[in-house]
């Protein structure tokens, strides 16, 4: 265990863990044998932690649906399996999730979905708990890393006992907070063996109807089990029902408001236990992170509530202690005046997200701009680092994974405009392959650009299938012309893309693959290997202040001086040399062997 050990007691150790790491260690204690995921913040560290344990099957799948299907298959064969994803990934995996509830499982199946309230790194807010209600899958909701550990372990036991999948719902403030957690040694992985049961595992209509009846009946039993994970902290006549991370805010708010309240904490927020009716007298205040999922269930039990439905708490964004205290005060009609935090006399400068210095996508966008000059293209983008092409005005549409080609096809068909669809290699395999078939069969004129940096870079550098199964080979198999460029070779690449543009203008789709590994991975490996990385600098007497390097190329290592001449920060420069290629007056010079560095980089 690479984390800091605080103390050892009998067979346990207390270590400092991220919430996601705690979930992984809980799964290990629960005997997980198969673990799959598709990377997505704030869930990624779960599988990254499990990768260190070689006695289990741990796999980064091509997308969330595939990840869940592998785990689901393992559990119908009696193994214990975990699948992890972020909230929007559960949309992709929704089909097998619903089926798993119908068939049930033999081993334990734990589906971890990490929600991202207020969209710190996501395209929308979404509350995973609705899937629990819709799919008849119970949802456990931990409030901190220690509870995340316990619930992960408990989820396997419950799942196997009930023969039913379990969702473990985390949120950013649980997944990405660090706290001491008491951890048991990993249990041996529990494998299994598939036993045939035709009427259970074949969801053809005749069998599925019977499974539906059984599922609804089982849901009542699960509601009773939910009571075992409910905790009541006795207090005064005021009753507050809460779950997950909101529990922490409630505890602080009650102290600030100086009220005596009975707090009912739900460990399983879907379904809530019918027994809760016996504990509530009068109106109950409901505090939950996300949508009004608990409150809706309480109202279905005919309890009077004050929560998000009637506006006592905000219906978007994250909760915090202030919001919860204000909401409770409003719900109870008591005065409340929390002092405003002091304002800093100096505002921090804005830090908009930018591509890393030397990012190959920077060169790709520059190449595309010049190769499509005069066409005024529609830029159809996708989820990933390359979404930062919005800073160069080269992203007009970004909505979800796979939106680049899907929406791009729709725009091209409807408007006859020239459309460039930009997508990363990981997203290409995740979502675009089915669309590529439609593109080939209908021959929609679309310039598809795969920005292949060999990694799922935005989430920390997980492996991509592109090295073993290159995108250009797939396109060629579909009958789509394919070109490969190197974004560090600006002039040659512009000419290649211009040829691709002409094919699109003639009415056919084309795929361009821009290949160069993620610069963060490359520089990290180079430094470990002792490879010298060149540095570039501007010769001020030659620079004419045209701004191409910092306004058009938009390298984040280059800034404009007060006189508009360029300045390269030597700390940030990674020696890509693209700025020297685009400089019209040869004012940028390097001090190392660029060709050798580019060769090392390409192998990263």
Sheet holding 284-287, edge to edge: 230-233, 261-266, 238-243, 284-287, 305-306
* Spatial distance between the Cα atoms of 161 and 508, rounded to a whole number of angstroms: 56
> Do residues 536 and 527 touch, judged by C-beta distance below 8 A?
no
Residue 379 is given by DSSP the state: E
Which of 171, 183, 179 shows the shortest CA–CA distance to 43? 171
| The pLDDT of residue 10 is above 60 | no
* CATH number for the domain harbouring residue 475: 3.40.50.970
> Do residues 435 and 402 touch, judged by C-beta distance below 8 A?
yes
Mean pLDDT value across residues 418-422? 98
Is residue 359 part of an annotated ligand binding site?
no
Which of 550, 551, 598, 604 shows the shortest CA–CA distance to 574? 598
> Do residues 56 and 67 touch, judged by C-beta distance below 8 A?
no
% of residues, the chain, pLDDT over 90: 89
* Spatial distance between the Cα atoms of 243 and 292, rounded to a whole number of angstroms: 11
Residue 24 resides in a domain: yes
Question: 231 vs 188, 234, 268, 279, 547, CA distance in Å?
Answer: 31, 10, 10, 11, 62
Which of 553, 572, 571 shows the shortest CA–CA distance to 488? 553
| The pLDDT of residue 9 is above 80 | no
Q: What is the pLDDT of residue 342?
A: 85
Helix (H/G/I), strand (E/B), else coil: 143: coil
Judge if 447 and 533 occupy the same domain. no
Is residue 385 part of an annotated ligand binding site?
no
Judge if 571 and 462 occupy the same domain. no
* CATH number for the domain harbouring residue 291: 3.40.50.920
**Local confidence band at 350 (pLDDT 50, 70, 90 cut-offs):** confident
Is residue 549 part of an annotated ligand binding site?
yes
Residue 348 resides in a domain: no
Judge if 375 and 469 occupy the same domain. yes
Peptide bond into 199 cis (omega under 30): no
* Spatial distance between the Cα atoms of 434 and 402, rounded to a whole number of angstroms: 10
Judge if 142 and 250 occupy the same domain. no
Q: How do residues 556-600 score in pLDDT, each as one tens digit?
A: 999 999 999 999 999 999 999 999 999 999 999 999 889 999 999
- Report the range out of 116-120, 249-253, 281-285 with the highest average pLDDT: 249-253
Q: How do residues 526-558 score in pLDDT, each as one tens digit?
A: 988 888 899 999 999 999 999 999 999 999 999
Across 516-580, the runs of DSSP E, i.e. the strands, are 536-538, 558-560, 566-568
Is residue 583 part of an annotated ligand binding site?
yes
Say which residue the tokens 């334990």 belong to: 108
Q: What is the pLDDT of residue 1?
A: 47
Q: How do residues 367-399 score in pLDDT, each as one tens digit?
A: 999 999 999 999 999 999 999 999 999 999 999
Judge if 505 and 377 occupy the same domain. yes
What distance lies between CA 580 and its chain's CA centroid? Answer: 36
% of residues, the chain, pLDDT over 70: 98
Q: What is the pLDDT of residue 330?
A: 96
The three-point CA angle 474-475-477 to 5° equals 65
Judge if 107 and 166 occupy the same domain. yes
The number of domains in the chain is 4
Is residue 579 part of an annotated ligand binding site?
yes
- 499-505 contacts, C-beta under 8 A, 24 or more apart: 500/371, 500/447, 501/371, 501/372, 501/375, 501/447, 504/418, 504/445, 504/446, 504/447, 505/418, 505/445
The answer to which of 2-16, 143-157, 371-385, 533-547 has the lowest mean pLDDT is: 2-16
Helix (H/G/I), strand (E/B), else coil: 524: helix
Residue 210 resides in a domain: no
Judge if 509 and 544 occupy the same domain. no
Residue 254 resides in a domain: yes
The answer to which of 121-135, 161-175, 283-297, 451-465 has the lowest mean pLDDT is: 451-465
In sign, the C-alpha dihedral spanning 466, 471, 477, 482 is negative
Judge if 416 and 505 occupy the same domain. yes
Q: What is the pLDDT of residue 8?
A: 54
Across 486-592, the runs of DSSP E, i.e. the strands, are 510-515, 536-538, 558-560, 566-568, 588-590
Q: How do residues 322-341 score in pLDDT, each as one tens digit?
A: 999 999 999 999 998 878 88
Residue 277 is given by DSSP the state: G
Provide CB contacts within 8 A for 465, sequence distance 6+.
62, 425, 429
Question: 600 vs 355, 444, 536, CA distance in Å?
Answer: 21, 38, 18
| The pLDDT of residue 6 is above 60 | no
| Residue 62, domain extent | 5-203
What distance lies between CA 188 and its chain's CA centroid? Answer: 29
Residue 537 resides in a domain: yes
Helix (H/G/I), strand (E/B), else coil: 284: strand
Helix (H/G/I), strand (E/B), else coil: 506: coil
Mean pLDDT value across residues 25-54? 97
Last residue of a domain, one of 185, 203, 221: 203
Half-sphere exposure of 361 (CA within 13 A, CB side): 31
Q: What is the pLDDT of residue 175?
A: 97
Say what the pTM is: 0.91
Judge if 184 and 264 occupy the same domain. no
Provide CB contacts within 8 A for 2, sequence distance 6+.
none
* CATH number for the domain harbouring residue 572: 3.30.70.20
Helix (H/G/I), strand (E/B), else coil: 177: coil
* Spatial distance between the Cα atoms of 448 and 439, rounded to a whole number of angstroms: 10
Mean pLDDT value across residues 286-295? 98
Q: How do residues 457-506 score in pLDDT, each as one tens digit?
A: 888 889 899 999 999 999 999 999 999 999 999 999 999 999 999 999 99
Q: What is the pLDDT of residue 161?
A: 97
Between 129 and 353, residue with greater pLDDT: 129
Last residue of a domain, one of 481, 516, 551: 516
Helix or strand holding residue 593 (H, E): none
Judge if 303 and 405 occupy the same domain. no
Judge if 256 and 383 occupy the same domain. no
Between 353 and 473, residue with greater pLDDT: 473
Residue 220 resides in a domain: no
Beta bridge partners of 579: none
Mean pLDDT value across residues 347-375? 93
Residue 221 resides in a domain: no
| The pLDDT of residue 4 is above 80 | no
Judge if 509 and 531 occupy the same domain. no
Question: 372 vs 475, 492, 548, CA distance in Å?
Answer: 21, 15, 17
Tokens standing for 591? 């001090």
Last residue of a domain, one of 467, 483, 516: 516
Angle between helices 594-602 and 519-529 (to 10 degrees): 110
Q: What is the pLDDT of residue 87?
A: 96
Q: What are phi and psi of 515, to 5 degrees?
A: -105, 115
Residue 218 resides in a domain: no
Mean pLDDT value across residues 243-260? 96
The three-point CA angle 140-142-146 to 5° equals 135
Helix or strand holding residue 565 (H, E): none
- Mean pLDDT across the chain, nearest whole number? 95
* Spatial distance between the Cα atoms of 479 and 458, rounded to a whole number of angstroms: 31
In terms of C-beta density within 10 A (0-12 exposed, 13-18 middle, 19 or more buried), how is residue 203 classed? middle
Which of 56, 54, 100, 62 shows the shortest CA–CA distance to 80? 56
Is residue 543 part of an annotated ligand binding site?
yes
């Amino acid at each position: 265990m690479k984390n800091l050990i605080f103390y050892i007691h009998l067979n346990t150790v207390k270590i400092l863990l991220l919430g996601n790491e705690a979930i992984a260690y809980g799964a290990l204690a629960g005997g997980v044998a198969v673990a799959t995921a598709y990377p997505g913040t704030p869930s990624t560290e779960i599988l990254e932690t499990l990768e260190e344990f070689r006695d289990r099957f741990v796999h980064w799948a091509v997308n969330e649906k595939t990840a869940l299907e592998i785990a689901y298959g393992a559990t119908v064969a009696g193994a214990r399996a975990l699948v992890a994803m972020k909230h929007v990934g559960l949309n992709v995996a929704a089909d097998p999730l619903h089926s798993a509830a119908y068939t049930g499982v033999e081993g334990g199946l734990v589906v971890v979905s990490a929600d991202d309230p207020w969209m710190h790194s996501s395209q929308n807010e979404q509350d995973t708990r609705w899937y629990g209600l819709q799919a008849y899958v119970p949802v456990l909701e931990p409030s901190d890393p220690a509870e995340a550990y316990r619930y992960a372990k408990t989820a396997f036991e419950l799942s196997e006992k009930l023969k039913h999948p379990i969702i473990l719902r985390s949120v950013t403030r649980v997944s990405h907070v660090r706290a001491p957690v008491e951890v048991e040694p990993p249990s041996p992985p529990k494998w299994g063996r598939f036993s045939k049961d035709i009427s259970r595992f074949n969801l053809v209509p005749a069998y599925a109807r019977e499974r539906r009846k059984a599922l609804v009946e089982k849901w009542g039993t699960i509601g009773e089990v939910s009571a075992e994970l409910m905790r009541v902290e006795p207090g005064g006549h005021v009753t507050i029902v809460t779950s997950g991370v909101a529990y922490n805010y409630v505890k602080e708010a009650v102290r600030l408001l100086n009220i005596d309240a009975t707090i009912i904490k739900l460990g399983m927020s879907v379904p809530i236990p019918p027994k809760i009716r016996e504990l509530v007298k009068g109106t109950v205040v409901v505090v939950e992170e996300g949508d009004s999922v608990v409150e809706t269930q309480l109202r279905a039990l005919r309890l009077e509530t004050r929560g998000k439905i009637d506006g006592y708490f905000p219906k978007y964004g994250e909760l915090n202690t202030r919001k919860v205290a204000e909401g409770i005060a409003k719900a109870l009609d008591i005065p409340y005046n929390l002092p405003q935090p002091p304002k800093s006399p100096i505002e921090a400068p804005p830090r908009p997200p930018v591509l890393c210095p030397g990012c190959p996508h920077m060169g790709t966008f520059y190449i595309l701009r010049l190769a499509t000059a005069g066409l005024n293209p529609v830029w159809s983008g996708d989820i990933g680092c390359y979404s930062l092409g919005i800073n160069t005005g080269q992203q007009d549409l970004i909505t979800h994974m796979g939106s680049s080609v899907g929406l791009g096809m729709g725009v091209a068909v409807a408007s006859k405009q020239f459309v460039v669809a930009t997508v990363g290699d990981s997203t290409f395999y995740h979502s675009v392959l089915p669309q590529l078939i439609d593109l080939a069969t209908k021959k929609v004129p679309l310039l598809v650009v795969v920005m292949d940096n060999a990694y799922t870079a935005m989430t920390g550098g997980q492996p991509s299938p592109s090295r073993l199964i290159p995108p250009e080979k797939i396109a060629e198999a579909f009958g789509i012309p394919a070109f490969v460029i190197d974004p560090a070779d600006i002039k040659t690449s512009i000419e290649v893309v211009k040829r691709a543009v002409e094919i699109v203008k003639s009415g056919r789709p084309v795929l361009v693959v821009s290949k160069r590994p993620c610069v963060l991975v490359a520089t990290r490996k180079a430094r470990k290997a002792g490879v010298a990385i060149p540095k570039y600098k501007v010769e001020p007497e030659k620079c004419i202040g045209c701004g191409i390097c910092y306004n058009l190329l938009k390298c984040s290592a280059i800034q404009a001086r007060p006189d508009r001449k360029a300045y390269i920060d030597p700390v940030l420069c990674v020696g890509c040399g693209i700025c020297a290629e685009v400089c019209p007056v040869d004012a940028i010079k390097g001090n190392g062997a660029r060709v050798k560095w580019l060769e090392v980089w390409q192998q990263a």
